[in-house]
Amino acid sequence: MQTGTVKFYDESKGFGFITPDEGGNDIFVHATGLAGSPIADGDKVEYEMGEGRKGPCAINVQKK
């Protein structure tokens, strides 16, 4: 599992971005990729990388 911090998440729209702890580009996260409770801006999370319709995205996202 990779770790990061939720940079932005809009619960009403169901998507946002995670900033990886190891650096690099922000990772897209969709509501369908959440594996537990809702996430919010600033939350520390664990996730796996997957492939969405528009490219790489975070899946199995859960609060750390």
- Quote the mean pLDDT of the chain: 96
The pLDDT-based confidence of 36 (bands split at 50, 70, 90) is: confident
Superfamily of domain 2-63: Nucleic acid-binding proteins (2.40.50.140)
The answer to whether residue 21 scores a pLDDT higher than 90 is: yes
5 Cβ contact list (under 8 Å, min separation 6): 18, 19, 21, 42, 43, 44, 45
pTM equals 0.94
Domain ranges of the chain: 2-63
